[in-house]
């Protein structure tokens, strides 16, 4: 189960607020999974936190001539990463294409532990740059142990 399952009703929330809450819940859940040695699941969940954080950031901070982003644009990873690069979210150390490839390799079991070790830190840096992190976990609903 997803770390946000049963903890939020996105349909009753502002889309940006829902994306931010989902990013925080996924961050918390991903960190817990990493502590539990569920590395692939933890990395995938942290990556989801990154995607949700990007959606939130772009909905709230989007500048330029394009105006409001379409829902389909917010669901397209390539568009999210491209717009994130335009907004200065990514630098050379946080190459979005490289992150995506590394996450795919982790999920396929093809990456050594040493290569995975930097991934949570890289995602944390990006989430901090966007303003998703840090946050007070006491503001979040309590975790549900059934969320894997």
SS (H, E, C) 20-35: HHHHHHHHHHHHHHHH
Domains of the chain: 10-133 (1.20.120)
pLDDT at 148 over 70: no
pLDDT at residue number 65: 41
DSSP string, the chain: --TTTTT--GGGS-HHHHHHHHHHHHHHHHHHHHHTT-HHHHHHHHHHHHHHHHHHHHHHH--SSS-SPPHHHHH-HHHHHHHHHHTT---GGG-HHHHHHHHHHHHHT-S-HHHHHTHHHHHHHHHHHHT--S--GGGSPPP-TT--
Question: What is the spatial distance between Cα 100 and Cα 45, in angstroms, rounded to a whole number?
Answer: 13
Environment class of residue 1 by beta-carbon count within 10 Å: exposed (0-12), middle (13-18) or buried (19+)?
A: exposed
The residue with tokens 């040493």 is 114
pLDDT at residue number 143: 81
pLDDT in tens, 47-58: 999 999 999 999
- Report yes or no: 145 and 59 within 8 Å, Cβ to Cβ: no
Lowest mean pLDDT among 4-8, 20-24, 41-45, 139-143: 4-8
pTM of structure: 0.83
* Centroid of chain to Cα 44: 9
Which pair of tokens denotes residue 114? 């040493």
pLDDT in tens, 84-137: 888 888 876 667 777 787 788 777 877 666 567 778 888 999 999 999 999 998
């Amino acid at each position: 189960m997803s770390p946000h399952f049963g903890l939020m009703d996105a349909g009753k929330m502002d889309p940006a607020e829902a994306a931010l809450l989902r990013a925080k819940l996924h961050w918390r859940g991903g960190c817990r999974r990493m502590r539990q040695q569920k590395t692939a699941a933890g990395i995938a969940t942290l990556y989801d936190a990154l995607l949700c954080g990007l959606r939130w950031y772009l909905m709230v901070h989007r500048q330029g001539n394009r105006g409001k982003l379409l829902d389909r644009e917010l669901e397209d990873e390539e568009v999210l990463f491209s717009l994130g690069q335009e907004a200065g979210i990514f630098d050379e150390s946080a190459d979005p294409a490289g992150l995506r490839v590394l996450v795919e390799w982790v999920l396929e079991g093809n990456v050594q532990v040493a290569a995975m070790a930097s991934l949570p830190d890289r995602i944390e840096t990006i989430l901090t740059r966007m303003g998703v992190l840090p946050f007070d976990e006491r503001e979040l609903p309590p975790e549900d142990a059934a969320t894997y």
